[in-house]
Amino acid sequence: MQIGELEIHLFTDGITHVDAGGPFGLVPRALYEKYFEPDPLNRVPMTLISMVIRSRGKTILVDTGLGTKLNPREIEFWRLERPGGGLVRELASKGIFPEDVDIVVNTHLHSDHCGGNTIRIGDRIRATFPNATYLVQRMEWADFANPDPRTRGTYLDENFTPLLETGQVRLLHGGTALSEEVQCVVTPGHTRGHQSVLLKSGDWRGLFVGDLASYSILMSRTSWLTAYDVDPLENLSTKQIWQEWALENDAWLFFPHDPTMPVARLRNDNGRLGLDAVEEAQELIAFAPIRRQPGG
């Protein structure tokens, strides 16, 4: 899709099925099941959405999904399905090959957002995107390098450390412009160094939200927070800042895990926030046809 000087595409690395207690935390089932009805094992779907941005001659990939290094036990754990064949195959279907990517932005280093950074070839781990510079916030890298008992299972060396060894990493310290239309912005709470990607073209504004709000409904329900958030109250405060920004700019919001409304606008109905699917974005989300969320 072309928006002024920007070209954007959405892809998926597949869809996972996770216990609803993860994405919905302390939210009662009676509330969240209006939007995502769990299966008999209390699982809900989470897509693994990545964005490709072409701006000023650069090809920028935001997040890389779980990747291909998973063993059968891990695939079963995630209940991972890949109807499109995974991220690299989906990129190739649009004529985008690993060598073409100039920049990879990791919103954060949880394995479902950066597992596709690297690929296993024989007994070696190498960069999936060999010509790319990988960008992550310095604070995020610090937490990755010093995991605690809670994060050790998702901050995996194989997803990022090989890139440090080949000199393909650029550690960011705060908001950073990648072009006139694309900027990394720090959105802490899910992790201390979480970042989102701000897009602009003329008067149009967009935000690849990342796990500031994994599902669109988490953006409109301010107090709904995930069990994965490292600092939930910080995430809530950050969310309020970007809710105000989204309303002021009539922004398109891109949600990384939402299979029902991956692109939405926020609205204010007399003090109550709601969501509208972005009909103009239909061509971006052929992988996830909009099924409207009641009461969104």
Residue-by-residue DSSP string for 28-82? -HHHHTTTS---TTSEEEEEEEEEEEEETTEEEEE---S-S---HHHHHHHT-B-
| pLDDT of 291 above 70 | no
| pLDDT of 292 above 50 | no
Beta-strand pair 263-269/272-277: antiparallel
Q: Is residue 293 part of a domain?
A: no
What's the CA angle centered on 225, arms 223 and 226, to 5 degrees?
170
Structurally, how many domains does the chain consist of? 1
Q: What is the pTM of this model?
A: 0.95
Asked if 293 contacts 255 with a C-beta cutoff of 8 angstroms, the reply is: no
Q: Is residue 201 part of a domain?
A: yes
Q: Is residue 294 part of a domain?
A: no
pLDDT in tens, 30-76: 999 999 999 999 999 999 999 999 999 999 999 999 999 999 999 99
Instruction: Domain of residue 129: give its range.
Output: 2-284
Instruction: Write down the mean pLDDT value for the chain.
Output: 94
List the beta bridge partners of residue 200: 205
Please give the distance of CA 25 from its chain centroid, rounded to a whole number: 18
| pLDDT of 119 above 50 | yes
Please, what's the b/e burial string for 37-66 (b: 16 or more CB within 10 A of its CB; e: otherwise)? ebeeeebbbbbbbbbbbbbeeebbbbbbbb
Q: Is residue 151 part of a domain?
A: yes
Average pLDDT over residues 145-171: 95
Q: Is residue 295 part of a domain?
A: no
State the burial class of residue 70 (Cβ atoms within 10 Å of its Cβ: 0-12, 13-18, 19+).
Answer: middle
Q: Is residue 171 part of a domain?
A: yes
Average pLDDT over residues 243-248: 98
State the burial class of residue 231 (Cβ atoms within 10 Å of its Cβ: 0-12, 13-18, 19+).
Answer: middle
Q: Is residue 47 part of a domain?
A: yes
Q: What is the pLDDT of residue 108?
A: 98
Q: What is the pLDDT of residue 288?
A: 55
Asked if 17 contacts 44 with a C-beta cutoff of 8 angstroms, the reply is: yes
Q: Output the domain CATH number for residue 239.
A: 3.60.15.10
> Mapping DSSP to helix (H, G, I), strand (E, B) and coil, where does residue 212 land?
helix
| pLDDT of 280 above 80 | yes
State the burial class of residue 224 (Cβ atoms within 10 Å of its Cβ: 0-12, 13-18, 19+).
Answer: buried
Q: What is the pLDDT of residue 283?
A: 77
Q: Bigger pLDDT: 280 or 220?
A: 220
Q: Is residue 289 part of a domain?
A: no
